[in-house]
Amino acid sequence: MGLVEEGQQIIAEGEKKEDAAADLALIGAAQRVEHYEISAYTTAKNLAQQLRHSAVVALLSKSLAEEENSDQLLNQVSRSLMSVARMPTALEQAE
Ligand SMILES: [Fe+2]
């Protein structure tokens, strides 16, 4: 619920802006959800391994891999966005 609320707040704030920072904030919100899912699938997979439910382990491993792939794709998008976006000057360079 907290992640969804935070995402909705970032979407609402981003509607007022058209800069890369707003897009990066959205990507960050999406990645927080992916990390939450990765954590949950990892825990469930570990429990299934402990219980020796190999079919469940296989399914959870597949879901975990999909979430990790989504996170990597979001990383790629954010890095390419950062490379072309006008970023604020670093503090030590601004002085
Ligand atoms: Fe996901």
Map out the domains of the chain as residue ranges: 2-83
- The CATH number of 2-83, from 3.40.50.720, 1.10.3720.10, 2.20.25.190, 1.20.1260.10, is 1.20.1260.10
Work out the mean pLDDT of the chain and round it to a whole number: 91
What is the whole-number distance in angstroms between the Cα of residue 19 and the centre of ligand 1?
25
Q: Using the mean position of ligand 1's atoms as its centre, give its distance from the Cα of residue 59 in Å.
A: 15
When pLDDT is cut at 50, 70 and 90, the band that residue 75 belongs to is: very high
Give, as residue ranges, everything with CB less than 5 Å from ion ligand 1: 34, 37, 67, 70
| pLDDT tens per residue across span 22-51 | 899 999 999 999 999 999 999 999 999 999
Give distance in angstroms: CA of 15 to centre of ligand 1: 23
Q: 16: pLDDT confidence band, cut at 50, 70 and 90?
A: confident
Give the Å distance between the CA of 88 and the centre of ligand 1: 30
- Residues 31, 12 contacting (CB under 8 angstroms): no
Centroid of chain to Cα 71? 5
Question: Using the 8-state DSSP alphabet, how is residue 90 labeled?
Answer: P
Structure tokens given for 92 = 């030590």
Q: Say how far apart CA 26 and CA 6 lie, in whole Å.
A: 10
